[in-house]
């Protein structure tokens, strides 16, 4: 079944209402690697080490998430072969300490790269406070549909990535991906079996299940929060990045960071850049 561009561009995804509070915030932070040092009180504020739990700044990407909607056969998408290409986020207001949030996702673009070259699907989510209607964050995603090019769609426009500095980075930050991290992160709303089932990963061409792109995103966000924001979430205002390779649970991520907010992340064991063209908007 081929992609129907009119269907995808006009799909009406339902709003997703989600309760939030200390448990949701702590589990998210734990799922992106915080808390591995139980003596670091700067991290403990996000994972429940104290009376209250601060929302980790990258959590809007998973709140109000519509789930793995591209697995619906009506989309015509080869869901086994899709990969997360880019992710961005702008924070407008802090998440409530507890309450309800509402996410509304809409498709904003579809690019046909041609037969055998795949397609790019762009979508955006607005996250609002369920009680006040306040806009909390706008998240932006690009998905590379590896098996779905050549359906006769538009060839553009394509998002331009951030240009990286040519100097050496000012900071580096290392983080270990726990062996079971993808199995934990799945409960953040992304139940794609590519990340948990070996046979599905093999069918997609991977030797074993891969880490969720948004988990890698969260780990890079941790590196940026630690180095450029001194663990102060109010200074973390927006982020954009491009995923350039997969990450496997059990590997080690090193994020290379510049003072202007530019960053990239590599896997140390393979010396492979997995996030590139990153830029953080921070105070």
Q: Which of 3, 59, 91, 210 is catalytic?
A: 210
Which contacts of 153-157 are long-range, i.e. CB under 8 A and separated by 24 or more positions? 153/3, 153/5, 153/110, 153/111, 153/112, 153/119, 154/5, 154/110, 154/111, 154/112, 155/111, 155/112, 155/113, 155/114, 156/111, 157/109, 157/111
Q: Is 71 helix (H, G, I), strand (E, B) or coil?
A: helix
Q: Which residues of 228-253 are buried (b: 16+ CB within 10 A; e: fewer)?
A: bbebebebbbbbbbbbbbbbbbebeb
Under 8 Å between Cβ of 36 and 121: no
Quick check: is 195 catalytic? yes
Under 8 Å between Cβ of 269 and 252: yes
CA dist 169 and 185 (Å) reads 29
Q: Which of 64, 130, 189, 213 is catalytic?
A: 213
Q: Which of 59, 190, 261, 279 is catalytic?
A: 190
Structure tokens at 242: 């491009």
Quick check: is 222 catalytic? no
Q: Which of 85, 103, 129, 195 is catalytic?
A: 195
Quick check: is 213 catalytic? yes
Quick check: is 84 catalytic? no
Q: Which residues are catalytic?
A: 190, 195, 210, 213
């Amino acid at each position: 079944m081929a992609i129907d561009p009119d269907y995808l561009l006009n799909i009406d995804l339902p709003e997703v209402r989600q309760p939030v509070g200390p448990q949701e915030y702590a589990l998210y932070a734990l799922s992106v690697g915080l808390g591995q040092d139980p003596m670091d009180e700067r991290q403990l504020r996000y994972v429940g080490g104290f009376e209250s739990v601060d929302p980790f700044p990258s959590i809007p990407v998973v709140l109000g998430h519509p789930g793995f909607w591209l697995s619906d056969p009506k989309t015509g998408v080869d869901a086994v072969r899709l990969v997360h290409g880019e992710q961005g986020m702008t924070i407008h207001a802090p998440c409530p300490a507890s309450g309800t949030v509402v996410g509304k996702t809409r498709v904003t673009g579809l690019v046909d790269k041609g037969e055998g070259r795949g397609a790019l699907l762009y979508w955006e989510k607005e996250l609002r406070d369920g009680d006040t209607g306040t806009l909390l964050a706008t998240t932006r995603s690009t998905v590379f549909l590896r098996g779905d090019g050549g359906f006769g769609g538009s060839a553009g426009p394509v998002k331009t990535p951030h240009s990286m500095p040519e100097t050496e980075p000012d900071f580096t930050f290392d983080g270990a991906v726990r062996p079971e991290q993808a199995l934990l992160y799945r409960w953040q709303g992304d139940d794609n079996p590519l990340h948990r089932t070996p046979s599905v990963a093999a069918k997609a061409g991977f030797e074993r299940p891969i880490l969720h792109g948004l988990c890698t995103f969260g780990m890079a966000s941790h590196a940026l929060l630690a180095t450029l924001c001194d663990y102060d979430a109010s200074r973390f205002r927006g982020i954009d990045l491009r995923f350039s390779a997969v990450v496997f649970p059990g590997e080690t991520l090193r994020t290379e960071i510049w003072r202007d907010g530019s960053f990239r992340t590599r896997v140390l064991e393979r010396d492979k850049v997995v996030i590139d063209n990153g830029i953080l908007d921070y105070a």
